[in-house]
Amino acid sequence: SIGSETNGGVHNVLVDDLTMDGTTSGLRIKSNDTRGGRVDGIVYRDVCLRGIRSPIEITTHYEQPAQPGGLIPEYAGIRMERVRSTTPGRILLQGYDAAHPVVLDLRDVAIAAGSDVKQEHARVRGTFSAGADCTDRFRPFPEPVVRNPRPQLTAEQARAYDYRTVLQYVGPVGSERVDPWDPLADPLVTNAGLKADYTVDARAPADGTTRFATVQAAVSQAVTAGGKRRIVIGIAPGTYRELVYVPPGAPPVTLIGTGADPQAVRIGAALDASTTGETYRARHAAQFEHAAPAVRAMYDTLKDLPALQTTGSATVWVRADGFQARNLTIENAYNRDGAVSHAECKGDNCPDTTGGSRVHHQAVALRVDGADKAQFERVHLLGLQDTLFLGSQDGSATVRSFFHATHIEGDVDFIFGDTIAVFKDCDVHAIGGRTASYVAAPDTNRRAKYGFVFDGCRFTSDAPGPAGTQFYFARQWFHNERCTPYGFIPVDGYTCRLGDVDVYRAPDGTIRKRTLETVGKAVILRARIGPHFEKTTPWSEWNRNGTLAHRPAQYGSDDYWNNLAGTKFDPAGALGDGPRPVPADVYLGEYDNTIE
């Protein structure tokens, strides 16, 4: 389009080898007598037009004001050569008046039958012919790439998620070493040959050597004893209201509930992320007074904090390799009775995509913290938000956990973290009551071979209830971000740049490469899915578009590359990641699942 600002003149323009399809206007020159100027030496050559409302529009009365002006535009020396308009449309050739006509030269110009042709004050050399055809000029539009919101693995891809294959990798992400591990071959699974070295019974006399009244006391004794031999601790039925901390360097410890089922032995506390160090000390200082120094050191990292945060809220906190538990329940009871009512959150303060969901403070039941080969057999893990936290020490190396025949329940992000974890034949239950519920929140590094793998599990949920809860498989934890390169942020002057820290001071923010790379990986295979889980889009974004925490669901490395390509976060450019993986890495996926 030329004009409507023609007052400075437009001269000597060539439009050559052009196709236009489905636009409102085609070849267009427009002005009026408030703009003036001379337009000349305009050549249109080898042009093909299709599906256009106004294929040719040359007018000096464009948006003509009611009060005429004194700047009359002049159009002269306009030529069209081999121009085709294949579908009917409006053809307008309109000079200003007899003294100021449009001067146009038509050479082999064809328009479709049925076109509405209007000529006024036009000096035209040549005529429009009929029978316009140039369909061979149009290349088909590329088919839009429609992402399947429920990406499915092939049988070949699914074979790579066999638990033994997944669990053989450990160590630096992207450079994991092979260390074969088959937890189903461990005696823990059958309970065969496991004889208790220590016993715990709150109702029996304790001697502080092999018999204890609390689980933590028995663990402390194992830490004091040291060595590399596995210590088996048998726990009598009962409710143990305490914290259990297993420090790094402890011998491998196995906790076994000796009751008839996992509910018979219950280890529980009720800390949440907002619990102060003062409250923490008041509740739990006594149990750590005579603890082993390494256990006491874990307590000391929390006791003076203004708030424990998510990481300090765990009922059971495991930092030692080879930890095992069987046939017992671990619970964070914080607000599971609904007694605490929290105010509604809005916008960037919200923990989920809804922008208005009721807040439940994070409250971890089990935290596996940098511990490798952690194994759980027939264990119940109970909580609300953030029930199970599986974390590496610093995100640069991964460790492994295995959950078998285990029941896990919560309401938001209740299985979260960055390690490799296999859940085999587990029951995963999502609790309602909030606007949205998410089972998992992985923040796996994109270079890690695996993240969370659910194989043969059953996913159930409460009914949506009065809150109309939407139940999702997962949302990928955008860990540590303070600004986002995704979507649109309605802040004047907003910027988000690559930097060495994650920080936002309105309107400017920076984000680390490492944060961008916490893509989150989760695969669900051969599962039975309850009827209330989202059937169309079960993988959710991390917070909604327009908030500082927004990131869309990324099903694989192609999404990661496509979302950032051409931006200041281009993986192949600014991030220095080289070519994208071929074939694409899987971040989220399903295989052979059924809906109940």
Tokens 């956990």 map to which residue? 401
Residue 563 per-residue DSSP state: H
DSSP 294-340: HHHHHHHTTTT-S--TGGG--SEEE-STT-EEES-EEEE-TTTTS--
CA-based nearest residue to 148, from 428, 525, 555: 555
What the block records as the tokens of 564 is 């950032």
Which residues of the chain have a pLDDT value below 50? 344-347, 349-359
Please tell me which residue in 386, 462, 559, 577 is annotated as part of the active site.
386
Q: b/e for 117-144, b at 16 or more Cβ within 10 A?
A: eebebbebeeebeeebebeebeeeeeee
DSSP 167: T
Predicted pLDDT at 476 = 98
Whether the Cβ atoms of residue 462 and residue 433 lie closer than 8 Å to each other: yes
Q: What is the identity of the amino acid at 316?
A: V
244-246 vs 420-424, strand pairing mode: unpaired
CA proximity to 265, closest of 137, 380, 367, 377: 380
Which class for 595: exposed (0-12), middle (13-18), buried (19 or more C-beta within 10 A)?
Answer: exposed
* Contact in structure between 313 and 272 (CB atoms under 8 Å): yes
Cβ neighbours of residue 200 under 8 Å, at least 6 residues apart? 211, 212, 213, 214, 215, 217, 218, 233, 234, 235, 236, 240
Q: CB of 335 within 8 A of CB of 308?
A: no
What are the Cα distances from residue 119, in Å, to 38, 78, 82, 364?
Answer: 20, 15, 20, 78
Q: What is the pLDDT at residue 342?
A: 54
* C-beta of residue 84 within 8 angstroms of C-beta of residue 134: yes
DSSP letter (8 states) at residue 342:
-
Contact call for residues 581 and 572 (beta carbons, < 8 A): no
| Tokens describing residue 180 | 């074969």
Pairing verdict, β 397-398 and 420-424: unpaired
DSSP 3-state helix, strand, coil percentages of the chain (rounded to 5)?
10, 35, 50
Spell out the domain ranges in the chain.
10-137, 155-479+518-595
Report the length, in residues, of the chain: 596
In terms of Cβ atoms closer than 10 Å to its own Cβ (0-12, 13-18, 19+), residue 508 is: middle
Q: What is the pLDDT of residue 360?
A: 53
Q: Within 10 Å of residue 156's Cβ, how many Cβ atoms? A: 7
Which pTM does this prediction carry?
0.78
What is the SS3 string spanning 175-203?
Answer: CCEECCCCHHHCHHHHCCCCCCCEEECCC
pLDDT at 129: 92
439 Cβ contact list (under 8 Å, min separation 6): 414, 415, 428, 430, 459, 471, 472, 473, 474
**Active site includes 413?**
yes
Second-level CATH architecture of 155-479+518-595? 3 Solenoid (2.160)
Cβ neighbours for 29, distance < 8 A, ≥ 6 positions apart: 1, 2, 3, 39, 42, 57, 58, 59, 75, 78
The two tokens of residue 390 are 């599986």
Q: Which is catalytic among the residues 33, 413, 455, 577? A: 413
Would you state the pLDDT for residue 140? Answer: 78
Distance CA 358, CA 343 (A): 6
Q: How far apart are the C-alpha atoms of 115 and 105, rounded to whole Å?
A: 19
